[in-house]
Amino acid sequence: MNKYLQLSPRVREALDNGRPVIALESTIISHGMPYPQNVETALACEALSREHGAEPATVAVIGGRLCAGLTGEQIEYLGKAGQKIRKVSRRDMPMVVSRQEDGATTVAATMIIAALAGIRVFATGGIGGVHRGAETNMDISADLEELAVTPVAVVCAGAKSILDLGLTLEYLETKGVPVIGYQTDELPAFYTSRSGFRVPGRADTPEEIAGAILAQRGLGFPGGMLITNPIPEAYEMPKDVIDKSISKALDDANAKGISGKDVTPFLLARVVELTGGDSLKSNIRLVYNNVALAAKIATALSSKK
């Protein structure tokens, strides 16, 4: 085992006994939602994962240790500290580890730690992607690069709708990342189930997805897989409402000169303000939906060994 990796007793026991485990990220706790909804959501995700048969491994860097599986106290700490906690992606990990600092892991960093631990499935809200205007500012999330090189299947509600979804799909295609729509032929757009962009693959059961993951590994292909799971219809945001809010949030970010890794947290928080909190409710529900599906996929994978 990697000398920097630390597994919780429950995660270690599950992995040692071949039981299903799913990874959960921590940036959603510190940077994705306000307190106390962030902590409540994180703990509810863990409970939901267990209800569906998989042990949850919430991932973060604590004291320079790459932790897969957190205590309730550690989740509370990340939630209360919020954006004071450093947002950690691949580029940040060497310094954070060497300085024995704390960090909330992005999709990319969570994938890295999950792969080190031997966890093959990861549930999140939405991945990062190609930002609007990337043709001039080259703002492309490291999540996409990680999907091309790290063998973890990521279950999400599509790319965040603040992004350029068409270019995000094109980038994933260029990198050879399989993108599978769960019971849909269309890329979900985070707050809404439809984006207008077709996904290259479709699967209608968790068992189909587990089979595709095993085939990918058996073929010796590097990298991960993206499973896009639409937000439940009852919790979708009206497309015109969310599009208007995103447009306003983007204008505000530009006016304030916000760039780089600060863009996504700002935009998500601003959209929550502009929608009167409705987008936060949708965000929480889509995360629950993804956790349930990820747990089912992990269970199917375990049964196919």
Q: What is the pLDDT of residue 259?
A: 75
Could you give the CA distance from residue 229 to residue 179 in angstroms, rounded to a whole number? 11
Question: First and final CA of the chain: distance in angstroms?
Answer: 21
Q: Is the dihedral angle over the CA atoms 172, 60, 283, 49 positive or is it negative?
A: positive
**Which residue from 299, 287, 19, 50 is spatially nearest to 155, judged by alpha carbons?**
287
Q: What is the pLDDT of residue 162?
A: 76
**Which residue from 90, 164, 161, 175 is spatially nearest to 130, judged by alpha carbons?**
164
Q: What is the pLDDT of residue 139?
A: 80
Q: What is the pLDDT along the chain (305 residues), one digit of tens a residue?
A: 799 999 999 999 999 999 999 999 999 999 988 899 999 999 999 999 999 999 999 999 999 999 999 999 999 999 999 999 999 999 999 999 999 999 999 999 999 999 999 999 999 999 989 977 766 777 889 999 999 999 999 999 998 777 889 999 999 999 999 999 999 999 999 889 988 899 999 999 999 999 999 999 999 999 999 999 999 999 998 888 888 888 888 889 889 888 776 777 787 788 888 888 888 899 999 999 999 999 999 999 998 76
No. of helices (H) and no. of strands (E), the chain? 13, 11
Q: Tokens in use for 259? A: 């760039």
| Active-site residue, 80 included | no
Cβ neighbours, 10 Å, residue 130: 23
Residue type, 193: S
Could you give the CA distance from residue 119 to residue 122 in angstroms, rounded to a whole number? 8
Could you give the CA distance from residue 189 to residue 162 in angstroms, rounded to a whole number? 9
CA dihedral 288, 292, 295, 296 (to 10 degrees): -160
Domains of the chain: 5-303 (3.40.1790.10)
| Active-site residue, 25 included | yes
C-alpha Rg value of the chain to the nearest Å: 18
Annotated active-site residue in 46, 76, 160, 296:
160
Per-residue buried b or exposed e for 151-167, using 16+ beta carbons within 10 Å of the residue's own CB: bbbbbbbbbbbbbbbeb
Q: Using alpha carbons only, what angle is made at residue 31 by residues 164 and 41, rounded to the nearest 5 degrees?
A: 105
Per-residue buried b or exposed e for 49-66, using 16+ beta carbons within 10 Å of the residue's own CB: beebebbbbbbbbbebeb
Task: Name the pTM for this structure.
Answer: 0.93
Paired sense of beta strands 65-68 and 103-105, if any: unpaired
